[in-house]
Amino acid sequence: MEIWAWIQPVDRIWKVISDEEKGTLHVFNEKSELVLERNGMSKEEITFIEENFLQIVATNLSGNKVSSPAVIDVIPVIEHNYMYA
């Protein structure tokens, strides 16, 4: 299981949980609401998404060291953004 912090352009951080063994991909918004859920994916599909998308746009928080998705809770740091002022 891999846990990723995906920083959004509007000062929010989404949490992505990918699991090769189960073939699942879950994306949660900053309020821990499920935004996207994919089940039944092959190991190759999950690896492809991790290597070609998540490694580019997200930060890996787990490195396969975390056993439960509830262990790491990503909290966005609110900063003043002059573009939206």
Q: Could you say which DSSP state residue 84 is in?
A: G
Model pLDDT for residues 15-70, shown as the tens digit of each residue? 999 999 999 999 999 899 999 999 999 999 999 999 999 888 888 887 654 444 44
Distance CA 27, CA 55 (A): 15
At residue 76 the predicted structure's pLDDT band, cuts being 50, 70 and 90, is: low
In degrees and rounded to multiples of 5, residue 59 shows phi and psi of: -115, 130
Contact 32, 23 (CB under 8 A): no
Kindly state the tokens that stand for 25. 């991909």
